[in-house]
Amino acid sequence: MHIADRQHTLVNWIDRQRAQPLLEVLGAVLLAVLSIWGLILARQTPPVYGEDFTATAREEETRLVGFYDPESNGDYVYRWTKGNAFIQLPLRYNTDARYTAAVRIRAANPDGPQPLTFLLNQRTIATVTPNNNFRIYDLVLPPDPEGDALMRFGLRTTPFRPTADQRDLGVIVSDLEIRQVRQIDWTTTIVIPLALLGFWGWLRRRGEPPGVALLISALLAAALVALYAIYRSAPLHYLWMALLALLAAATGATLARETASRLALALIAALVGFSGMLWPSWFTDDAFISFRYAQNLVAGNGLIYNIGERVEGYTNFLWTMLAALVLWLGGDPVFWAYVAGVALGLAIVQATYWLARVLLDPPWALVATLIVATSQSLFVYTTRGAGLETGLFTLLGLLGSALYIQRMWAWSGFIFALAALTRPEGVLLMGLTMLHRWIAADANQRRFRERIRAQVRVVGPFLLIVAPFFLWRLSYYGDLLPNTFYAKTGGGLAQVWRGLQYSSTFALAMGGPLLLTILAPPLIDQQAMLRRWWNYLLPIVVVYSAYIISVGGDHFPGERFFVPLTPWIAILTADGLAWIYRWGQRYPLGKQIMPAALAIVLTTFSWHALSHSKSFDRTLVGNDESVWIWRELGLWMNENTPPDASIAALGAGAIAYYSDRTTIDLLGLNDRHIARVEVSALGSGTAGHEKSDPHYVLYERQPTYIPRIWDGYFDTEPGWRDQYELITIKTRYGRELELWKRKP
């Protein structure tokens, strides 16, 4: 090469080096500009929440209160309202949007036109006087100043009762539409592009070339813009979910070293982080039991359910303490439970990849992560709400096992101790880990003394935390086991049969025949059974599953008790698929068909797993609606009854928490007597709902109020209604509920 050519090449190289920073800056600016532009365009067609008053089978995103069933006069279909009616849109104000409403109404009061008041969350926004002709009323709905995420658009008028009709009738409604006003959420529009730039910068720091980092960031930005376009309502504002997903994507970029894995983990984070919007979200009544204990602790009454009663009606001490911390700091435990659910769901997915990456090759670690990230059981108890400790226990159990596998003995014992404080099953995990440590001792640990020392390294930190806790709870509550254990167990073979049905439902949800791939390693190569991690995780899954079967499972949808096993099952399944794939690659035909077969299997499994919740989504929505009705009842108790009033409840969470009144738990989770009632057919009914003692409740506990919806609980006690009078109350939201009130 001539000297002139060399000089020219050197000059070109120097020019490229000088241009590279400028190109990186231009790429980052382009990413930010396109993200802002996409977020603005995404909300140019805001969603419409319409209510078809002609339909008996309604959409689940709205709830009608005070409306009668559809009727027809031959020309059109309509609904009558009561004197007070409202349509409730759950979580609607989390969208941070303004709304308008259009409602088609006519009056038919024989006494003449009557004033009709429109209300938004109990605040008057307009008063009109409709006549006998249909008219569409357009209203601007002001934002809610109290921070209440529930939107309640109400109608209130003077009712009348026709001669041939025993109903109280208000007005006739044929259509109602609530529409978001087109507007730009500048906070979201600015913060998300900045966060994407931070993600791009982190990718560059982790060694990705500028163009590749820009591509990954752009694809994640496209996913977030698409999710913003379809965002309707969720437990959290869009910005919360997007930032948590971006944080998880950055964590994935730290754990993964391959570009494909980083991209996959980023997109998985978007799916998991927004699952509470993509599928129905909910909140369980049982979560409020823990909040009730935390409430009393912060109030100085002790860690109790009812004042003066020391009963351990919870099994999640650490979760309850976290709720108490939130209350002590002045926060809302419901909101922070939603935040924690999304954060924990994302953390479980990332921790699964971390452990799988240690045990498997990178592609198969990604397969394990995909299996976890498409589990609706995991979503239901983390990112979709619930408010329970399941996600925290799952994460702690996973981290404890990961640290043990990596020989970080002391840290493993410490994390398992936190797991035991979160759920009693943490003790089972620690016991299985100790057993494995004993059996799989190193060659230099064969002597008994050396084995004991090896055990102490793991169990020492565990006992330092769990032993004092156990002694405290024994002295405080006086029972070896939590009260819930006595309320839910003791059913014998019937309980085991119920547990088998429960486990089979979960197995089908996790892929059914796909789980058989777990057996592939020992079938293909018996030496696989000797691998330390394999003969550690598989016994945990088997023994823990046997435990779930023995206690009869759970009554919640989505097989809650199996959620902690999901990451371990996913890793074992991915390992089984890897063995089958490598075995098939030995043959010429296998080399051709195995990649396509694997793609088909994973696609089919993912689709099946994500659509699994269709079978119980309606149940989740119904449970969620019941919780907020009980919240209204609890608030009524708090605002309208003396401090010594009491109420009997089958749903003993939200009522107790919001009423701050003595609540008699009819199922015995928080009542020592009912929990120990002998039931002849225990195990054949709904788990946790089989024990009762109506005589004890009526004549010893003597509740001041009994909600009429739970009359059936007392039907075995003849004449009990003679001690009570039936009253109708109106909650602060205008909902009418019937209660039995004890006579003086």
Tens digit of each residue's pLDDT (9 = 90 or more) over 450-476: 677 777 888 889 999 999 999 999 999
Return the pLDDT at 69: 84
3-class secondary structure, 304 = coil
Q: How far is the C-alpha of 356 from the C-alpha of 578, rounded, in Å? A: 12
Whether 295 is in a domain gets the answer no
Look up residue 571 and give its two tokens.
Answer: 């890793």
Mean pLDDT of 301-324: 93
In terms of average pLDDT, the best of 311-320, 486-495, 716-725 is: 311-320
At what angle are helices 210-230 and 3-42 packed, to 10 degrees?
Answer: 10
The answer to whether residues 502 and 573 belong to one domain is: yes
Q: How far is the C-alpha of 559 from the C-alpha of 501, rounded, in Å? A: 11
The answer to whether residues 454 and 561 belong to one domain is: yes
The two beta strands, 724-730 and 705-707, are: unpaired
Query: Residue 142, Cα to own-chain centre: how many angstroms?
Result: 30
Whether 500 is in a domain gets the answer yes
Residue 115: partners with Cβ closer than 8 Å, 6 or more residues away? 127, 128, 129, 157, 158
Residue 82 is given by DSSP the state E
List own/partner pairs for 470-477 with CB under 8 A and 24 or more apart. 473/312, 473/317, 476/303, 476/310, 477/310, 477/311, 477/312
Mean pLDDT of 100-121: 87
The answer to whether residues 635 and 687 belong to one domain is: yes
The answer to whether residues 94 and 169 belong to one domain is: yes
Return the pLDDT at 379: 94
- Res. 53: pLDDT tops 80: no
Give the residue numbers spanning the domain of 385: 332-615
Exposure pattern of 198-222 as b/e (b: 16+ CB <10 Å)? ebbebbbeeebebeebbbbbbebbe
Return the pLDDT at 446: 59
Return the pLDDT at 586: 79
- Closest alpha carbon to 272 in 253, 254, 251, 249: 249
The answer to whether residues 360 and 439 belong to one domain is: yes
Whether 309 is in a domain gets the answer no
In terms of average pLDDT, the best of 57-71, 109-123, 583-597, 678-692 is: 109-123
Sign of CA dihedral 457, 459, 465, 468: negative
Q: Mean pLDDT over all residues of the chain?
A: 86
Last residue of a domain, one of 587, 615, 643: 615
The answer to whether residues 452 and 516 belong to one domain is: yes
- Res. 14: pLDDT tops 50: no
Please state which of the ranges 48-52, 74-78, 411-415, 501-505 shows the lowest mean pLDDT: 48-52
Whether 315 is in a domain gets the answer no
The burial of 710, by beta-carbon neighbours within 10 Å (0-12 exposed, 13-18 middle, 19 or more buried), is given as middle
The residue ranking higher by pLDDT, 570 or 24, is 570
Other CB atoms within 10 A of residue 737 CB: 17
Sign of CA dihedral 378, 383, 387, 392: positive
Percent of the chain clearing pLDDT 90 (strictly above): 43
Return the pLDDT at 54: 63
- SS3 letters across 113-139: CCCEEEEECCEEEEEECCCCCCEEEEE
3-class secondary structure, 338 = helix
Return the pLDDT at 52: 65
What secondary structure does DSSP assign to 404-452, as a single string?
Answer: HHTT-HHHHHHHHHHHHHH-THHHHHHHHHHHHHHHT--GGG-SHHHHH
Look up the pTM and report it: 0.91
- Res. 208: pLDDT tops 90: no
Whether 287 is in a domain gets the answer no
Look up residue 659 and give its two tokens.
Answer: 């009423």
Return the pLDDT at 707: 94
Q: How far is the C-alpha of 16 from the C-alpha of 603, rounded, in Å? A: 43
Please state which of the ranges 194-203, 338-347, 715-724 shows the lowest mean pLDDT: 715-724
Please state which of the ranges 55-59, 243-247, 329-333, 377-381 shows the lowest mean pLDDT: 55-59
Please state which of the ranges 224-228, 345-349, 690-694, 724-728 shows the lowest mean pLDDT: 690-694
Residue 535 banded pLDDT, cuts 50, 70, 90: confident
Residue 235 banded pLDDT, cuts 50, 70, 90: confident
Whether 312 is in a domain gets the answer no
Residue 709: partners with Cβ closer than 8 Å, 6 or more residues away? 738
- Res. 636: pLDDT tops 90: yes
Q: How far is the C-alpha of 230 from the C-alpha of 43, rounded, in Å? A: 9
The answer to whether residues 351 and 440 belong to one domain is: yes
Please state which of the ranges 95-104, 123-132, 655-664, 734-743 shows the lowest mean pLDDT: 95-104
- Closest alpha carbon to 59 in 233, 226, 180, 225: 233
Residue 445 banded pLDDT, cuts 50, 70, 90: low
The answer to whether residues 57 and 144 belong to one domain is: yes
Last residue of a domain, one of 180, 214, 235: 180
Q: What is the CATH number of the domain that holds 74?
A: 2.60.120.260
- Closest alpha carbon to 569 in 623, 617, 507: 507
Whether 402 is in a domain gets the answer yes
Residue 129: partners with Cβ closer than 8 Å, 6 or more residues away? 113, 114, 115, 116
Return the pLDDT at 10: 43
Whose tokens are 């089908």? That residue is 508
At what angle are helices 566-584 and 333-359 packed, to 10 degrees?
Answer: 30
Residue 617 banded pLDDT, cuts 50, 70, 90: confident
The answer to whether residues 262 and 356 belong to one domain is: no
- Closest alpha carbon to 689 in 702, 700, 673, 675: 675
The answer to whether residues 637 and 549 belong to one domain is: no
Residue 151 banded pLDDT, cuts 50, 70, 90: confident
Whether 301 is in a domain gets the answer no
Residue 306 banded pLDDT, cuts 50, 70, 90: very high
pLDDT tens for 29-45 read 777 888 888 888 887 87
The answer to whether residues 246 and 360 belong to one domain is: no
The answer to whether residues 30 and 101 belong to one domain is: no
Return the pLDDT at 677: 84
Residue 477 banded pLDDT, cuts 50, 70, 90: very high
Return the pLDDT at 530: 66
The total number of structural domains that make up the chain:
4
pLDDT tens for 648-679 read 999 889 999 999 999 999 998 898 998 888 87
- Closest alpha carbon to 84 in 708, 629, 729: 729
- Res. 97: pLDDT tops 80: no
Exposure pattern of 66-85 as b/e (b: 16+ CB <10 Å)? bbbebeeeeeeebbbbbbbb
- Res. 23: pLDDT tops 80: no
Please state which of the ranges 51-55, 136-140, 181-185, 596-600 shows the lowest mean pLDDT: 51-55
Please state which of the ranges 219-223, 682-686, 695-699, 735-739 shows the lowest mean pLDDT: 682-686
The residue ranking higher by pLDDT, 344 or 57, is 344
Give me the residues paired with residue 141 across strands: 99
Percent of the chain clearing pLDDT 70 (strictly above): 91
Mean pLDDT of 21-25: 66
Return the pLDDT at 145: 61
- Res. 520: pLDDT tops 70: yes
